[in-house]
Amino acid sequence: MSSTAYVPPKVWTWDAANGGQFASINRPIAGATHDKVLPRGKHGFQLYSLATPNGQKVSIMFEELLAAGHAAEYDAWLINISNGDQFGSGFVEVNPNSKIPALLDLTGPEPLRLFESGSMLVHLADKFGAFLPASGSARTEVMNWLFWQMGSAPFLGGGFGHFFAYAPEKFEYPINRYAMETKRQLDVLDRRLAEVPFIAGQDYSIADMAIWPWYGSMVLGRSYANSAEFLDVGIYKNLKRWADAIDARPAVKRGRIVNRNWGDEAEQVPERHGPEDFAGKAV
């Protein structure tokens, strides 16, 4: 690629060759590219996902619900986005945006589709009466932080993570722009966690489950090689305390490796259909 200044054309056209490492997972149009029926297991909830931060939110929620004694058994099926599974007709029927995760709730009189991880967390919390207050200011505070995460994470992942780790070339301006924004977000969380043990207050909630896979992983050094040092995450002491506490939860240890098919084999559970699938894993 040329290092000369880019001059935008009058009308933009898509060139997949310019998409970098993950060019194959995005395109400028919606809809299915091929026919593929989604598998279904024996449980009332069917999760179609991958263990990215957004995928981890929902599998962590399911594991936390099960650990708390709720009847939330689920099948988790791997969606390999590098192979284009998200563009199969069955997946697009559940999530027309072709992004993981996608969820079918088969426990009611009619199948219910859910897309967007935040929607899934709220649906499951309300269904089981867990990890989200039913009403009042406590519920509002959880929702504040849940939507904060939904709006903020694109700056961390699609912004900082993309230009720091995945873009075909390193450019100073976008890296500086998104590093600044990421550090501001880390500071927001660190200041909040100086006041309370969990993101929304005194109790562990879906806000923690939504935020931890993104920002907890960042301060634990699991996101984007060398990014923890680059962002000097050690200065966020309160955020690190919280990240460590969430990381130690058994349900989180299980949930974060569901639909994972890379890295250490002890941290891979590509499909999950019951607790037996965690046998021999690092949980």
Per the CB < 8 A criterion, the answer to whether 60 and 213 are in contact is yes
Least confident of 20-24, 133-137, 214-218, 242-246: 20-24
Long-range (24+ apart) CB contacts under 8 A made by 11-16 are: none
- Alpha-carbon gap, residue 226 to 206, rounded angstroms: 29
**Residue 1: pLDDT over 50:** no
Secondary element (H or E) of residue 147: helix 136-154
- pLDDT for 201 beyond 80: yes
pLDDT band, residue 17 (cuts 50/70/90): confident
Share of the chain above pLDDT 70, in %: 97
How confident is residue 70, by pLDDT bands cut at 50, 70 and 90?
A: very high
Handedness of CA 159, 240, 267, 89 (dihedral sign): negative
Question: Distance between CA 263 and CA 247 in Å, rounded?
Answer: 18
Note the CATH architecture for domain 1-131+257-283.
3-Layer(aba) Sandwich (3.40)
Q: Name the phi and psi angles at 23, rounded to 5.
A: -60, -30
Whether residue 259 contacts residue 62, with contact meaning beta carbons closer than 8 Å, is answered with no
Please report the pLDDT score of residue 267 as a whole number: 98
Classify residue 80 as exposed, middle or buried by CB count within 10 Å of its CB (0-12, 13-18, 19+). middle
What is the dihedral angle through the alpha carbons of 65, 81, 44, 67, rounded to the nearest 10 degrees?
-20
Residue 6: left if φ>0, alpha if ψ -120 to 50, beta else—which one?
beta
pLDDT of 25: 82
What's the Cα-to-Cα distance from 138 to each of 45, 105, 152, 238, rounded to whole Å?
28, 26, 21, 21
- Specify the domain boundaries for CATH 1.20.1050.10 within the chain: 136-248
Average pLDDT, the chain: 96
pLDDT of 18 over the 90 cut? no
Q: Per mean pLDDT, which range of 15-19, 147-151, 214-218 is the poorest?
A: 15-19
Q: Which two tokens stand for residue 280?
A: 């021999």
How big is the CA angle at 129 (ends 126 and 130), to the nearest 5 degrees? 105
**Is residue 118 left, alpha or beta, with left meaning phi > 0 and alpha meaning psi from -120 to 50?**
alpha
| pLDDT tens-digit series, residues 187-197 | 999 999 999 99
Distance CA 194, CA 126 (A): 29
Residues 243, 212 contacting (CB under 8 angstroms) = yes
Q: What average pLDDT does range 19-47 have in this prediction?
A: 90
Is it the case that residue 2 has pLDDT exceeding 60?
no
Q: What is the pLDDT of residue 101?
A: 98
CA distance 107 to 104: 9
Question: In the structure, what pLDDT confidence band is assigned to residue 3 with cuts at 50, 70 and 90?
Answer: low
Q: What per-residue confidence (pLDDT) applies to 26? A: 84
Instruction: List where CATH 3.40.30.10 sits in the chain.
Output: 1-131+257-283
- Provide the CATH topology of domain 136-248: Glutathione S-transferase Yfyf (Class Pi); Chain A, domain 2 (1.20.1050)
pLDDT in tens, 217-267: 999 999 999 999 999 999 999 999 999 999 999 999 999 999 999 999 999
